[in-house]
Amino acid sequence: MEPTLSPQPDSPESSFPSTGECLARLLRPPLPPNVPVPSLWASIPQLSHRSSYRQITRELSYKSVLLAAKAILSLGIRPSTHLAAFIGTMGYYLRPELRRIALQNLRDAIGTQTTEQDRARIARQMFSNFTVSALEVAWLSRWEDLFSWLKIDLDGFENFNEALATGRGVIAHNAHFGNWEVMTAAIARMGYPAHVVVRKQKDPRLEAWIGQIRNLSGLKVITRGENPVAILRCLKKGGALGLMIDIDTRSNEGVFVDFFGKPTYTQVGPFALARLTGALMVPALCYREGLNHLRFYFGKPWEVPQTEDPARDIFRSAQMASRILEDRIRERPEQWAWFHKRWKTTPDKIE
């Protein structure tokens, strides 16, 4: 039994908030307060138990992030965005290891449909896009400035509304595509019961700062591996849970599915959760259409099968989600994080 599209609910479309109403909520008072950048001289926690060198490099990394954030916020959003786009393009040349990974992944995935010049152009644009996205995460601490600057389109938002209207809960499966941080914060600010599962930052000072920014938008953050009950509670109450499906990690159980013609280790957690709770799956991606123009895309809801073979149900669902993502990446390859080692885990390594 293949995963299937979910039937549409009986509730009329007029019962859903209009697109204009949702976007208006982003700048409707009271706005989230500004979040100050933490002090550079905050007490230094134990960041590494492995070596003093690692402790020092992580402390330098923390100070570098804060200095960059202070510089970005002092420049103003328009000039800092243009500067970030330029720095990102230069990053293609200045970060040879990341460039090598990105070009190799592009060659393996879409090499037969592209030229070497095409792949270099895609990689440069990707570096620029992700640098601008990192800048926008810093500007989330200045909510009014960011959302006065950004133009946002909602594409397929009725799919998200209709899935939530069933009361079954929604797992919005997304990826490192466009600016997922801004997307999830905006959806929460629109009044939706939005939750995300995130990795814990190694530095507790950064963890506190980023967590404060996320929480002020109304977004509910669940730290990966720490509170599984909160995940189940979110779905049982009919909420929306954002989960990444494009991370290569052996810390969680996974299966190998076909992704760009290669066996790709994919976490089964989102699909096992959907099967357990009956939640609907909704593809959710953020496209960058310009320096200050984002498009939030929501695909058709679909269901994880519930047959007598759970492993088969989960495998087919992981394959369907990966196929949906692959189709979107093929359409707009510059939007995805090609510098991630997505195919690092191989069947031989698992054995």
User: How far is the C-alpha of 321 from the C-alpha of 316, rounded, in Å?
Assistant: 9
Model pLDDT, residue 10: 46
pLDDT in tens, the chain (351 residues): 667 766 554 444 446 788 999 999 999 999 999 999 998 887 888 888 888 888 898 899 999 999 999 999 999 999 999 999 999 999 999 999 999 999 999 999 999 999 999 999 999 999 999 999 999 999 999 999 999 999 999 999 999 999 999 999 999 999 999 999 999 999 999 999 999 998 888 888 899 999 999 999 999 999 887 888 999 999 999 999 999 999 887 666 899 999 999 999 999 999 999 999 999 999 999 999 999 999 999 999 999 999 999 999 999 999 999 999 999 999 999 999 999 999 999 888 777
Give the whole-angstrom CA distance, residue 161 versus residue 170. 10
Question: Which tokens hold the place of 236?
Answer: 């049982």
The first and second tokens of residue 47, run together, are 């960041």
Buried b (16+ CB within 10 A) or exposed e, 52-75: eeebeebeeebeebbebbeebbee
Q: What is the pLDDT of residue 338?
A: 97
Query: What pLDDT is recorded for position 253?
Result: 86
C-beta separation of 145 from 32 below 8 A: no
Q: Look-up: residue for tokens 């599209």?
A: 5
Using alpha carbons only, give the angle 318, 349, 99 rounded to the nearest 5 degrees.
80
Phi, psi values for residue 5, rounded to 5°:
-65, 140
DSSP E strands in the chain: the ranges are: 4-5, 151-155, 170-174, 194-198, 220-223, 240-244, 254-259, 262-267, 280-290, 293-298, 302-303
Give SS3 for 219: coil
Among residues 150, 149, 174, 172, the alpha carbon closest in space to that of 160 is found at 172
CA separation for the pair 348, 236 (Å, rounded):
38
Q: Is 310 exposed, middle or buried (0-12, 13-18, 19+ CB in 10 A)?
A: middle
Is the peptide bond preceding residue 30 cis, with omega within 30 degrees of 0?
yes
7-17 burial code (b ≥16 CB/10 A, e <16)? eebeeeeeebe
Are residues 214 and 32 in contact, defined by beta-carbon separation less than 8 angstroms? no
Give me the helix-helix angle, 228-236 and 269-277, nearest 10°.
50
* Nearest alpha-carbon partner for 243 in 176, 182, 196: 196
> Are 156 and 299 a contacting pair, CB within 8 Å?
yes
The confidence score (pLDDT) of residue 5 equals 67
| Contact residues for 211 (Cβ-Cβ < 8 A; gap 6+) | 221
Are 220 and 62 within 8 A, CB to CB? no
What is residue 199's predicted lDDT score, i.e. its pLDDT?
86
Q: What are phi and psi of 170, to 5 degrees?
A: -135, 130
Q: Taking a C-beta distance cutoff of 8 angstroms, is the pair 138, 72 a contact?
A: yes
Task: Give pLDDT, residue 58.
Answer: 86
pLDDT on residue 12: 40
Reduced DSSP (H G I as helix, E B as strand, rest coil) percent helix, strand, coil of the chain, to 5: 50, 15, 30
Give the C-alpha separation, 231 to 235, whole Å: 7
Q: Where in the chain are the domains?
A: 18-350
Q: Which two tokens stand for residue 243?
A: 């989960």
- pTM for this prediction: 0.92
- Give the per-residue pLDDT at 43: 80
